[in-house]
Amino acid sequence: MLDEPIHFLANYLELPDWRRLGEHLPVEWVEQAVQSTEATSIRHRRLPAEQVVWLMVALAIYRHKSISEVLDDLGLAVPDSHSPFVSKSAAAQARQRLGSEPLKWLFDHCARHWSEQDSKAYMFKGLQLFAMDGTTLRTHDTPENREHFGEQLYASGAIASYPQVRGVTLTALPKHIVRAAAFGPYGTNEMLYAKRLITEIPDDSLTVFDRGFLSAEILTTLIQNGRNRHFIIPAKSNTKCEVLEGSEDDYIVRMCVSPQARAKCPELPEFWQARAVTVTDQHARKHILLTSLCERKRYKKVDIARCYENRWGIETSYRELKQTMLGTALTLGSQTVDGVYQEIWGTLIAYNLIRLEIAKAALVVKCDPTEVSFIRAFHLIQFELHWAAVTRSYGKLPASMKLLRERLVSLLKDERSDRKFDRVVKAKPN
C-alpha cells in the first residue's frame, strides 16, 4: 500500500537542491528574519548571518555530521581562494553572532504559512484539526544549561543527570506540520507554555488536547477569543460536573471554575459548559471526552471518538523529531543556552520542510501524508541534497577531489595532543 506513495516521492524529489527547498523557504524570508532581529552582518564574512540560518537547518538534516563537514559538503560558506575551509571556531563564532531570535522568527513565520497551505484538503467538516501536547529534550550538562533550564527532581531526592528543556507544540495532525511551539526551562509548567500557543490556533479549527491541559482558562479562552474554535479533551478521573441534559453516554455538563483560577484570571466565568461523550477504546476501557462540538446531528459521537484517536499523531511527530532527525541522541548538540534554542528552532524548521514536501507529494497521488514513510523521505532529502551540492557538474569532480585531499590534510593539522577531557560517569536514563 505504501509502495506507490514512496515511489512517487522518490520521483517528486528528483531535483532537491537547496533551491528545491527554497521554493518553500524563500531567501527573502531568511533575510527578513535576520533584519527583523538586527542580526545582519556589517563586515564581509565567510559566514554571513543569512548563511548561518541555512547552516542551522542543514545541521538538523545532517546531524550525524560535524559542523565542518556540513559547511564543506554543502558549500554554505562564501568562497574564498585564500582560505577554502571554515574552521570550527569561526563557525561557532558565527552562530554566537546570529543568536537564536532569527531562527525563532523564521520558524514562527514559516510554520503559520506552511500549515495553511492546502489545509482545505485535510479538513474535518470544515475544521482544521490540531493537537497540543508537551515534550522534553536533554541538553549537555554545563553549569549555564543547568542554571537556566533546570533538571528533573525524583521523589527519592535524586537529580536527573542532564538539564532538560520543556516544550509544548501545536501540530497540524493531517500533515504533522508544527504550527507553533514554546520551549523553555524544565521547571515551568506546561500550562504556561500552552497559554502562549492559544493565540496561534486559527479560526475554524478543532484542537485535541492531552488531559493534562484540562483548564477552564485555556479552554474558555480558546472558544471566546476566536471564531469557530473548538476542543476535545479527555476528562480526568476527579473531574466534577453537573449533568444538564442528554442521554447516558452523550450529555451536556456544567463545571464550576475554582476560586483560585478566578483569582488568577478575573475574566473567567463562574461556570463553563461542554458536551461529554463516553467512548470505548480498543482495550474495552471507557473514557469521557469533553468537547465544545455540541451539535449532535453534525458532530456524531463516532466522529468525536475518531478525532481523538488522531491525537496520537502528535506522538508520532515527536518520535520523528527525536528518533529519526536527532538520531536518538541522549542530548542536543549545543552546549550554550542560546545555542540550544537555536538548535531547536533550526530542527523544527527542517522537520516542517520535510513534512511539507511529503504533504505536497501525497496531495498529488491522493493519499494521506502519514502513509508516506518519514524515514524514507528524510533519507532521500539527505542523499539528494548532498549529491546535488557535491556533483553540481561532472567538470568539477577533479576540483572536488583536490579539496578532499586538502581537507584531510587540514584535519591532521587541527589535531592537538594537549587537549584533555575529564571523565564523567552519568547514570543511565530510565
- Paired strand residues for 252: 245, 275
Model confidence at 262, pLDDT cuts 50, 70, 90, reads confident
In this prediction, residue 171 carries a pLDDT of 95
Determine how many CB atoms are found less than 10 A away from the CB of residue 204: 14
Distance of CA 416 to the CA centre of its chain: 37
Span 320-330, mean pLDDT? 90
Determine how many CB atoms are found less than 10 A away from the CB of residue 381: 21
Span 192-204, mean pLDDT? 94
- Paired strand residues for 128: 205
Count Cβ atoms within 10 A of the Cβ of residue 79 and give its class: 0-12 exposed, 13-18 middle, 19 or more buried.
Answer: exposed
pLDDT of 196 strictly over 90 = yes
The residue with cell 478575573 is 266
Render pLDDT for 71-81 as a digit per residue (tens, 0 to 9): 877 777 776 65
* Least confidently predicted of 84-93, 176-185, 252-261, 349-358: 84-93
Set of cell numbers at residue 49: 548571518
User: In this prediction, what percent of the chain has a pLDDT beyond 90?
Assistant: 37
- The Cα–Cα gap between 172 and 132 comes to 9
- The Cα–Cα gap between 216 and 270 comes to 10
- Dihedral of CA atoms 71, 72, 76, 77 in degrees, nearest 10, equals 90
CA-nearest of 392, 371, 315, 320 to 60 is 320
The residue with cell 476501557 is 285
Render pLDDT for 201-235 as a digit per residue (tens, 0 to 9): 999 999 999 988 998 899 999 998 889 999 999 99
Domain locations along the chain: 3-102+340-413, 123-320
CB 244 within 8 A of CB 252: yes
Total residues belonging to the chain: 430
Residue 245, phi-psi category: left (phi > 0), alpha (psi -120 to 50), beta (remainder): beta
Mean pLDDT, the chain, rounded, equals 82
In this prediction, residue 322 carries a pLDDT of 92
Model confidence at 10, pLDDT cuts 50, 70, 90, reads very low
Model confidence at 162, pLDDT cuts 50, 70, 90, reads very high
CB 172 within 8 A of CB 200: no
pLDDT of 277 strictly over 70 = yes
**Residue 233 gets which letter from DSSP?**
E
Q: Measured on CA atoms in the order 203, 207, 211, 212, is the torsion positive or negative?
A: negative
Model confidence at 401, pLDDT cuts 50, 70, 90, reads low
Please report, for residues 89, 163, 304, 335, 428, the alpha-carbon distance to residue 331 in angstroms, rounded to integers and kept in the order given: 21, 9, 38, 10, 13
Instruction: Count Cα atoms within 13 angstroms, Cβ side, for 41.
Output: 17
Model confidence at 3, pLDDT cuts 50, 70, 90, reads very low
- The Cα–Cα gap between 236 and 252 comes to 16
- The Cα–Cα gap between 32 and 59 comes to 21
Contacts (Cβ under 8 Å, ≥6 apart) of 225: 198, 199
pLDDT of 267 strictly over 50 = yes
- Give the sheet arrangement for strand 286-291, strand by strand: 177-185, 164-172, 128-138, 205-209, 229-234, 286-291, 271-280, 250-256, 242-246
- The Cα–Cα gap between 352 and 117 comes to 12
More confident: 51 or 342? 342
Q: Long-range pairs for 72-76 at CB < 8 Å and ≥24 separation? A: 72/403, 72/407, 73/386, 73/389, 73/390, 74/18, 74/385, 74/386, 74/389, 75/389, 76/47, 76/51
pLDDT of 270 strictly over 90 = no
| DSSP states of 51-83 | HHHHHHHHHHHTTTS-HHHHHHHHT-SPP-SS-
**Strand, coil or helix: 130:** strand
* pTM recorded for the entire structure: 0.85
- The Cα–Cα gap between 345 and 327 comes to 17
Set of cell numbers at residue 210: 492531552
CB 305 within 8 A of CB 279: yes
In this prediction, residue 383 carries a pLDDT of 78
In this prediction, residue 424 carries a pLDDT of 66
In this prediction, residue 19 carries a pLDDT of 52
The single-letter code of the amino acid at 398 is P
Contacts (Cβ under 8 Å, ≥6 apart) of 18: 54, 74, 385, 388, 389
CB 399 within 8 A of CB 77: no
Highest mean pLDDT among 249-263, 281-295, 337-351: 337-351
Render pLDDT for 406-422 as a digit per residue (tens, 0 to 9): 555 554 444 445 556 56
pLDDT of 427 strictly over 80 = no
